[in-house]
Structures are given as structure tokens and as C-alpha cells.
Amino acid sequence: MDHDAVVRQQMTEKYLLNELDPKARDEFEEHYFDCPDCALDVRAGALFVERTKAVFAGQPAMAAPPRPVVVPAPSKPGWTDGLRAGLLGMFRPAFALPIMALLLAVIGYQNLVTYPHLQNQLNSPRVLPFASVNVGTYGSEGPVITTRPGEDFLIFVRIPPENSYSNYRAELYNPAGKVEWSLTIPATAGQDQWPVQVPASNWAAGNYTLAVRGVTTSGDSKDVGRASFELQIQK
């Protein structure tokens, strides 16, 4: 999904208000996991929504003048309906000043605390959990990687050198035997080890298997081997 399209279509706001269809929601989630700007927008927007919900929940109900319009009411209104009504009600004179003060406080907090903190996390050097895995090694237990929820980790993939391949295709299988992701690794002469950074996700603890196939210049492929490692999630 293109970032410019996300901005034009205001998909962050629609995502927070649960107005995206399942397909668009999945595509947007895949996008913002890899887009620092959208990730910041989602976190900041979620904070704003929670603060706004808390304010509206604490405000006394006010009687509105009757209108000559009949609107069918939903049987089970969701919090998004209350949020929309609250956002409209915030422009009434009785609410304008306190709500504007709250919005200014939230924006100031985001600019002074939230955004700089998140930006520092993105730009600061970190020591990631890692392990070395040897493709094609049989009869031995794989290494253990201990990580935290939402934390990247590294695997140093060692592949036996073979001059007949132009690149390698690696696939990571989760403990249930399903492919989590696939990756193309260039076959560089004289290199037999590649560092692979695994992005943060909702990883499940258990044994993972990395299967590697060698691909020739003609497009033919052949199994090179497999390697496994155990992933432990530290709470």
C-alpha cells in the first residue's frame, strides 16, 4: 500500500474509527507495521481517542432541542457512534473551552513527550537478540532466541557455499508448520553467512524452521537444507 494513498484517503482516521472493510484493514495494518510515520499516527490517534472517550464519558448529559427529523436508532450503538456524537457536541458553547483546552494539552503532550520518545526509540542504536543457524545441519538442537513482545531479533544464516546458485530463497515456518515469510538472499562469492533482521510481530513461542532453496540463473531451484531455532517470549 502506497503511503501517499494512505494520507489522501485518511486511512489512519478510518482505521481508528473502525470504518475500513476487512481487506482494506488488513492492507493498512501490513503497511503501518513497516511505516514509522503511520505507526506514530496510529499510536497518537489511539491515545487521542482514548482521552476523548474518557472526557465524553465524564460530561453530564445535556438536553438538545427537538428536531423535526426521524432517524432510526441502532439497537446496540458502538463507541464510534458515541465518539461521533461527542465530536459534534464539542462545538457547543458549553463544551468548547474545556474541550479545546484538552485538545491543546493532548497535542502538547504528543509533541513534547510521545513523538520525541518514539522517535528516539526508532533512531537509537539497540542490541537485538540473535542466534546463528547453520542450514543443512542435522541431528543437533537449534539455538534459543529470547525476545520481548514487539521486539525485532536477528538470525545469522550460514549456508554452505555453492557457486552454481545465483541466489537463495529462504522460508520461515512457524511452530504450526505455516510459512511466516519468505526472503531472497543473494549468493555472494566468498560469503557463507548473512544477517537477517526479523521484524517485530505477534510471534508465538516455539520451534521455527528456516528452509533454504538454491536458485540457478536459469530459474531452477534445489533444496539446500533446513535449520531450526527455538523462540522464547519474555513477558
Contact 42, 15 (CB under 8 A): yes
**Percent of the residues in the chain that have a pLDDT greater than 70, as a whole number:** 64
* Residue range 200-217, pLDDT digits in tens: 888 899 999 999 999 999
* 192 class by beta-carbon count within 10 Å (0-12 exposed, 13-18 middle, 19+ buried): middle
At residue 193, does pLDDT exceed 60?
yes
Q: Which domains, ranges and CATH numbers included, belong to the chain?
A: 3-123 (no CATH), 130-233 (2.60.40.10)
pLDDT score recorded for residue 70:
39
Residues across the chain: 235
- Contacts of residue 152, defined as CB under 8 A and 6 or more positions apart, other chains included, come to 128, 197, 198, 199, 200
What mean pLDDT do residues 146-152 have? 87
pLDDT score recorded for residue 189:
83
* Residue range 44-86, pLDDT digits in tens: 777 666 666 555 555 444 444 444 443 344 444 554 555 555 5
**C-alpha cell, 52:** 476523548
pLDDT score recorded for residue 112:
58
* 176 class by beta-carbon count within 10 Å (0-12 exposed, 13-18 middle, 19+ buried): exposed
* 190 class by beta-carbon count within 10 Å (0-12 exposed, 13-18 middle, 19+ buried): exposed
* Residue range 4-58, pLDDT digits in tens: 787 788 887 787 777 888 888 888 788 767 787 777 777 777 766 666 655 555 5
pLDDT score recorded for residue 210:
94
Return the sign of the alpha-carbon dihedral for residues 86, 91, 93, 99. Answer: positive
